């Protein structure tokens, strides 16, 4: 009795036949009485995607197939006689339709083993006031009419319709006949209502809400059953909200203890890193942090893999391609020869045992060589100076050894044990950013490979610098390899950029396209029309989605998550806003 009293409303009013009033809320119902003869779509999907408050009930009553076929056969015979004898009837067309429909239904039941049902559907709309109720009634009726569904307002039957839309499994007898409609098994599929472009992954982080129906969006991009990989692309023009969205992802995954590594060419994440006790790695002329590009790290290969030096040479060739420009095959051979010689002078060869301080393979106390045991750029530079054939390489390398970029010519002096590391390469300047981004990306890639069991993510802001026209094939291939293989290390690669045209400028856009195709989660914030055209060339966005991207407001995006395409509004909490606003002030 106590529970009943708690659940019962304070009052119910049936005084007006057009609606019911319950505790200051107004309810009005619709009976769905007729449908298009053929349906090729989910006819109720548009209802689910609205933000209008509705309750909907559907009842299916399965009929005895033998009895239905018997009745149909009898009616077909009678109708055939009427058609033959009454060709001048005014309703002859309707009679022919009924005849053809009856034959079709009988065939489906007898030949295709379908079942015969009666369908009853009711919708109750509710609102805080009558004006809102009437407006919403008109909207719902308009949506249904666009799908070929005819409705009837439940005037003088509001109570019965209201009861039928409650979760009581009551199909009220007073309204059944008005909404009764026959349907076959195949037609039932089109009435399935629980289809909506909403995502609520069980272990996901909150990202925002669906603009169409206000449903909350939770995405767990590490869910291997739902997504083919955990990679993500974030594209948008300046000021559209892509950086804000990226920082929200970083903050929320920081709370979950996931390892995150960020390449920061625009100094956008410095204050955020400090606020959540991350590790800030600055690379530039005014920094005391150094990374030795010649370091071979133990974690660069997994336990069962071999070929430390061979793997490192491939990465170094990409780096020197950035410095020396596009190399022909002969020049690549010369550079590789000099790299091998540089390591040989430090006692490091293609024998992996040479990377250990104790070369005895059976020794249990083998210790991997440290950065001080590795060559540095100056060692490579000196070898280039010994041969006239490599003079041009020496000249281009001089700023990295003796000039303004000599911080690249240092031994690594940092320990990276934090789960959030931001690589600030802002001080390198426009022309030199790509060098710092590549060095840090290579370092982070080794960190990602360290332990397959740990979840981790690498964020490549302004990724076009590494795979665009200012880069080269070797570097772009290295970045593409990260996106293609990071999944097996429990990782997620995130590409962030506003320069879409540059992203697809190298090798006819093949690398940009490959990274896009290898990202299960895609977020498109507002873009210029020129960039939208480029995006359409490499993705499957529809014409409607093109229009949507053009009209997006700040903080809104078109989100692709697996097979779902959602227009989303990114939402944050107050403490997150405070951290990100502080970040923006820091940038200013």
Statement to judge: residues 314 and 425 lie in one domain:
no
Q: Quick check: is 26 in a domain?
A: yes
Output the furthest CA–CA distance in the chain (Å, rounded): 109
Q: Give the CATH number, domain containing residue 319.
A: 1.10.8.730
CATH number of the CATH domain containing 497:
3.40.50.300
pLDDT of residue 411: 95
Q: Which domain does 425 fall in, by range?
A: 232-277+421-518+546-563
- For the range 68-73, what are the long-range contacts, defined as Cβ-Cβ under 8 Å and sequence gap of 24 or more? 68/105, 68/109, 68/116, 69/106, 69/109, 69/110, 72/102, 72/105, 72/106, 72/109, 73/106
The answer to the question of residue 55 being in a domain is yes
Instruction: Mark whether 401 and 476 lie in a shared domain.
Output: no
- With bands split at pLDDT 50, 70 and 90, how would you rate the model's confidence at 583? low
Q: Which one of 109-113, 442-446, 548-552 scores highest in mean pLDDT?
A: 442-446
Distance CA 361, CA 409 (A): 32
Same domain, 367 and 477: no
Q: Say if residue 344 is in the same domain as residue 301.
A: yes
- Is residue 400 one of the residues assigned to a domain? yes
% of the chain exceeding 70 in pLDDT? 94
Q: Would you say residue 148 lies in a domain?
A: yes
> Is the residue at 78 inside a domain?
no
Residues 506 and 379 in one domain: no
Q: For position 363, what pLDDT does the model report? A: 55
The verdict on 294 and 426 lying in the same domain is no
In this predicted structure, what is the pLDDT of residue 582?
A: 64
* Together in a domain, 56 and 139: yes
With respect to residue 376, please indicate whether it lies within any of the assigned structural domains.
yes
Q: pLDDT of 500-547, one tens digit each?
A: 888 888 888 889 899 999 999 999 999 988 888 888 888 878 777 888
**What's the structural domain count of the chain?**
3
Question: Which pLDDT belongs to residue 201?
Answer: 87
**185 found inside a domain:** yes
Most confident of 93-97, 126-130, 183-187, 210-214: 126-130
431 and 391, same domain (yes or no): no
3 within domain boundaries:
no
Question: pLDDT band at 588, cuts 50/70/90?
Answer: very low
Statement: residue 445 has pLDDT above 60: yes
469, 475 contact by CB (below 8 A): no
At residue 571, does pLDDT exceed 60?
yes
Residues 460 and 495 in one domain: yes
* Spatial distance between the Cα atoms of 483 and 229, rounded to a whole number of angstroms: 9
Q: Tell me: the pLDDT tens digits for 1-59?
A: 566 677 788 899 999 999 999 999 999 999 999 988 776 667 887 776 677 889 999 99
Question: DSSP for 12-72?
Answer: EE--STT-EEETTEEEEEEEEEE--S---S-TTHHHHTS-S-EEEEEEEEEPPHHHHHHHH
Please write the tens of the pLDDT for every residue from 554-570.
999 999 998 888 899 99
pLDDT of residue 479: 92
Same domain flag for 270 and 295 = no
The reply to whether 173 and 125 lie within a common domain is yes
Q: Taking residues 282-296, report their average pLDDT.
A: 92
Q: Which residue would you say has higher pLDDT here, 88 or 532?
A: 532
Q: List pLDDT tens digits, range 184-222.
A: 988 888 887 655 557 888 889 999 998 877 888 999 999
Which residue among 191, 215, 248 closes a domain?
191
Same-domain pairing of 365 and 437: no
Among 160, 191, 222, the domain boundary falls at 191
The stretch 306-311 carries a mean pLDDT of: 93
Determine the Cα–Cα distance for residues 269 and 266; give it in Å rounded to an integer: 8
């Amino acid at each position: 009795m106590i529970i009943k009293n708690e659940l019962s409303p304070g009052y119910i009013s049936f005084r007006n036949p057009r609606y019911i009033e319950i505790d200051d809320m107004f309810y009005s119902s619709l009976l769905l009485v007729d449908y298009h003869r053929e349906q090729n779509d989910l006819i109720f999907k548009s209802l689910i995607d609205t933000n209008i408050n509705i309750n909907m009930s559907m009842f299916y009553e399965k009929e005895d197939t033998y009895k239905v076929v018997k009745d149909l056969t009898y009616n077909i015979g009678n109708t055939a006689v009427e058609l033959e004898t009454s060709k001048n009837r005014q309703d002859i067309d309707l009679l022919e339709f009924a005849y053809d429909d009856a034959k079709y239904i009988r065939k489906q039941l007898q030949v295709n083993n379908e079942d015969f049902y009666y369908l009853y559907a009711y919708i109750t709309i509710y609102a805080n006031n009558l004006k809102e109720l009437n407006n919403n009634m008109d909207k719902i009726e308009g949506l249904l009419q666009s799908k070929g569904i005819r409705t009837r307002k439940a005037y003088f039957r509001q109570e019965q319709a209201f009861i039928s839309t409650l979760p009581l499994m009551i199909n009220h007898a007073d309204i059944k006949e008005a909404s009764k409609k026959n349907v076959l098994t195949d037609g039932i599929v089109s009435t399935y209502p629980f289809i909506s472009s909403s995502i609520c992954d069980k272990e996901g982080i909150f990202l925002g809400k669906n603009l169409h129906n206000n449903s909350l969006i939770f995405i767990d991009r590490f869910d291997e059953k739902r997504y083919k990989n955990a990679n993500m692309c974030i594209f948008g023009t300046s000021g559209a909200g892509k950086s804000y969205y990226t920082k929200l992802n970083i903050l929320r995954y920081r709370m979950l203890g996931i390892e995150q590594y960020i390449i920061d060419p625009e100094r956008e994440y410095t204050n955020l890193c400090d606020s959540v006790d991350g590790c800030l790695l600055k690379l530039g002329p005014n920094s005391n942090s150094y990374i030795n590009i010649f370091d071979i790290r133990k974690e660069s290969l997994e336990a069962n893999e071999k070929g430390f030096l061979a793997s490192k040479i491939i990465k170094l060739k990409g780096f020197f391609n950035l410095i020396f420009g596009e190399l022909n095959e002969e020049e690549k051979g010369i550079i590789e020869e000099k790299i091998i010689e540089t390591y040989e002078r430090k006692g490091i060869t293609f024998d992996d045992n040479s990377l250990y301080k104790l070369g005895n393979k059976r020794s249990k106390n083998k210790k991997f060589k440290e950065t001080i045991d590795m060559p540095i750029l100056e060692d490579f530079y000196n070898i280039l100076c010994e041969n006239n054939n490599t003079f041009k390489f020496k000249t281009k390398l001089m700023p990295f050894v003796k000039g303004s970029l000599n911080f690249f010519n240092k031994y690594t002096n940092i320990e990276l044990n934090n789960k959030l590391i931001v690589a600030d390469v802002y001080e390198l300047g426009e022309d030199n950013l790509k060098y710092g981004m590549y060095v840090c990306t290579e370092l982070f890639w080794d960190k990602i490979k360290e332990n397959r069991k740990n979840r981790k993510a690498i964020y490549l802001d302004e990724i076009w610098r590494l795979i665009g026209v200012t880069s080269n094939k070797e570097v772009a291939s290295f970045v593409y390899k990260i996106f293609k293989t990071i999944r097996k290390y429990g990782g997620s690669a995130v590409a962030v950029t506003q320069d879409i045209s540059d992203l697809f400028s190298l090798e006819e856009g093949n690398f940009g396209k490959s990274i896009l195709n290898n990202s299960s989660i895609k977020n498109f914030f507002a873009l210029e029309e020129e960039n939208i055209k480029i995006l359409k060339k490499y993705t499957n966005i529809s014409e409607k989605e093109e229009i949507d991207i053009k009209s997006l407001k700040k903080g809104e995006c078109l989100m692709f998550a697996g097979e779902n395409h959602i227009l989303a509004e990114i939402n944050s909490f107050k403490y997150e806003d405070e951290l990100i606003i502080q970040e923006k002030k820091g940038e200013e």
